[in-house]
Structure 1
């Protein structure tokens, strides 16, 4: 059994569905390229459940480790740069804040079975690190801006 995802055009699934679906026997996932939309990933329900079980188990272990004793959080802080090299750009207090927020968000996301909030958290912290990595970007928010463009409209009100 292969470990890499196979890729086909979405039209292949529509036009040759049995042959296309048979490819799931050789690959855990099937990447469906779409011309008019975001690509899709097709997998079996059993595989999706296995993936969720693994993620949930890893999350529960990480949360338990981080909360067990004070030294555990230090270990987590020590390994973060290996998992997320960009944390090296964050100030030390922010690395700790990231670690705490990551553990808490992973626990909450696992409880509802939806990891979107974890992905968003990682993206937001990585962007923060990118700002710290670039002196010009870091200086921009603190620069004196003599022009005031007025209040920012609520994005929900913009059509």
Structure 2
């Protein structure tokens, strides 16, 4: 995918020249000094991206309705997410189901934040399984219970 990178100030100072970059690039990445970078694209391209994401998600959801589809998804997961090799087999199956469900919901909501969060959480789970010391520290019962943990920001 072709992405043109420039500073936000270029867009502000030379808008026609900067926007002309969308003729040759699918997106313009606008770098900002003191805030999160922005991505600029045309409405038509954004709509195409959403249509493709929705179609792909619906396909995966339908595939998971069949035993062959579930098997295929499990076979391709290590290629798409190499870190799944550290997960126990039952966790790989659970990840595949949760991922497909989240993709289907994200397409309906036009919001992929939950999918990104799910992938991050499972990646971190794989990191724990990949490190025997960390796994032992997190799964060993030390016999000490310090009681309920207060909500973040709540007075202790």
Candidates 81, 91, 97, aligned match of 1:94: 91
Work out the CA distance in 2 between the residues paired with 1:139 and 1:59: 36
Q: CA deviation at 1:31?
A: 0.4
RMSD of aligned Cα (Å): 1.7
- Where in structure 2 are the equivalents of 1:23-34 lying within 5 Å? 23-34=21-32
Deviates further, 110-119 or 87-96: 110-119
Work out the CA distance in 2 between the residues paired with 1:71 and 1:19: 51
Candidates 61, 71, 74, aligned match of 1:74: 71
Work out the CA distance in 2 between the residues paired with 1:54 and 1:22: 25
Structure 2 unaligned segments of length 5 or more: list them.
Answer: none
Residue 42 of structure 2 corresponds to: 44
Work out the CA distance in 2 between the residues paired with 1:36 and 1:147: 45
Candidates 111, 120, 123, aligned match of 2:120: 123
Moved over 6 A (4+): none
Residue 132 of structure 1 corresponds to: 129
Q: Does 1:154 align with 2:117?
A: no
Question: C-alpha offsets along residues 102-142 of structure 1, whole Å, 9 cap, x if unaligned?
Answer: 11111111111111111111111011001101111111113
- Give the SS at the match of 2:30: strand
Number of residue pairs matched?
A: 155
Residue 111 of structure 1 corresponds to: 108
Work out the CA distance in 2 between the residues paired with 1:72 and 1:11: 48
Q: Does 1:55 align with 2:53?
A: yes
Structure 1 unaligned segments of length 5 or more: list them.
Answer: none
Question: C-alpha offsets along residues 10-45 of structure 1, whole Å, 9 cap, x if unaligned?
Answer: 111111111111111111100000001011111111
